[in-house]
């Protein structure tokens, strides 16, 4: 494996006990995840699970009229493909690459074999699933009850947490699609945050300048999700 890439850049893989990690290591396939790539479609059969390292993935629910909104994001804290080990094997959401990068792919049959041992892998994946459900629940509440500014601040903070720097490569149009709001609303809100000195925006690039300022303007949803991931996925709980 390249010195620039390591499976342990993914927090779930890094948390696994050494014996389990070494057992699956030869089967982890490093793959590029270019921006916009569709990893699976709604209703499609899942054949792999994906552990992002430098990429960020987005789960979208697609309406009958073609409209969509993000229901969750998956970065280096998680895994894509929980439906496989939860028994459904399909999902009503579409998974796309939101931020291009790399990750590791593991064949579904190998994940199931390790999961069915009912050991540390199973416990870790179930706790991650609970954390992901919290993120989905908070996203639904946030989209219904909070302002566009609060939603944007939450989204920017969660995305920045998954990146090695404070710079995000994404357009306002894509953000509007993620949040399910009008682009004009994102343009106005991003302008307000930039004038307040919290972010810097140029076409296709957003830099977070003041995290504490963003946190003060975000709703409680950001901290709820962050604390739940931290609580459930602490390394000491895996042993």
pLDDT tens digit sequence for 45-77: 889 999 999 999 999 887 778 777 888 999 999
What distance lies between CA 53 and its chain's CA centroid? 11
* Nearest-angstrom CA–CA distance, 56 and 116: 28
Sign of CA dihedral 167, 74, 176, 197: negative
Tokens in use for 77?
Answer: 């804290």
One domain for residues 163 and 97: no
CATH code for the domain of 188: 1.10.10.10
Alpha-carbon separation of residue 106 from 27, 112, 215 (angstroms): 6, 10, 35
Note the helical H segments in the chain: 11-15, 18-24, 82-86, 108-115, 120-145, 148-161, 172-179, 183-195, 211-217, 221-232
pLDDT band at 37 (very low <50, low <70, confident <90, very high): very high
For residue 237, being part of any structural domain is answered with: no
pLDDT band at 39 (very low <50, low <70, confident <90, very high): very high
For the question of whether the overall pTM of this predicted structure is more than 0.85, the answer is yes
Find the CATH number of the domain harbouring 75: 2.60.120.10
Domain of 87, in residue numbers: 7-117
73 and 149 in a single domain? The answer is no
Contact present, 78 and 127 (Cβ < 8 Å): no
Tokens of 61: 């629910």
Distance in angstroms (rounded) separating the CA atoms of residues 55 and 170: 13
Looking at per-residue pLDDT, the higher value among 35 and 235 belongs to 35
Check: CB of residue 55 under 8 Å from CB of residue 163: no
State the DSSP string of 39-104.
Answer: EE-TTPPP-EEEEESS-EEEEEEEPTTS-EEEEEEE-TT--B-HHHHHT----SEEEEEEE-EEEE
Q: Helix (H, G, I), strand (E, B), or coil: what is residue 33?
A: strand
**Average pLDDT over the chain, rounded to an integer:** 89
Residues 199 and 112 in one domain: no
Does a structural domain hold residue 128? no
* Angle, alpha carbons 3-74-192 (nearest 5°): 105
């Amino acid at each position: 494996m390249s010195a620039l890439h390591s499976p342990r850049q993914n927090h779930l893989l890094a948390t696994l006990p050494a014996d389990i990690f070494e057992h699956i290591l030869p089967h982890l396939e490093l793959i590029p995840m270019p921006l916009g790539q569709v990893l699976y479609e709604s209703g499609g059969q899942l054949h792999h699970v994906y552990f992002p390292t430098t990429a960020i993935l987005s789960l979208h629910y697609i309406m009958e009229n073609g409209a969509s909104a993000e229901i969750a994001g998956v970065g280096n804290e998680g895994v894509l493909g929980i439906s496989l080990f939860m028994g459904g094997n399909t999902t009503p959401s579409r998974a796309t690459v939101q931020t291009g990068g790399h990750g590791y792919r593991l064949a579904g049959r190998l994940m199931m074999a390790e999961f069915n041992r009912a050991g540390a892998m199973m416990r870790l994946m179930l706790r991650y699933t609970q954390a992901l459900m919290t993120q989905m629940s908070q996203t639904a509440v946030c989209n219904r009850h909070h302002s566009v500014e609060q939603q944007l601040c939450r989204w920017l903070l969660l995305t920045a947490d998954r990146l090695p720097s404070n710079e995000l490569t994404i357009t306002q149009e894509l953000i509007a699609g993620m949040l399910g709001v009008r682009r004009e609303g994102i343009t106005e809100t991003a302008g307000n945050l930039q004038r307040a000195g919290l972010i810097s925006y140029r076409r296709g690039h957003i830099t977070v300048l003041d995290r504490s300022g963003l946190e003060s303007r975000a709703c409680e949803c950001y901290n709820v999700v962050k604390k739940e991931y931290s609580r459930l996925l602490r390394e000491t709980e895996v042993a």
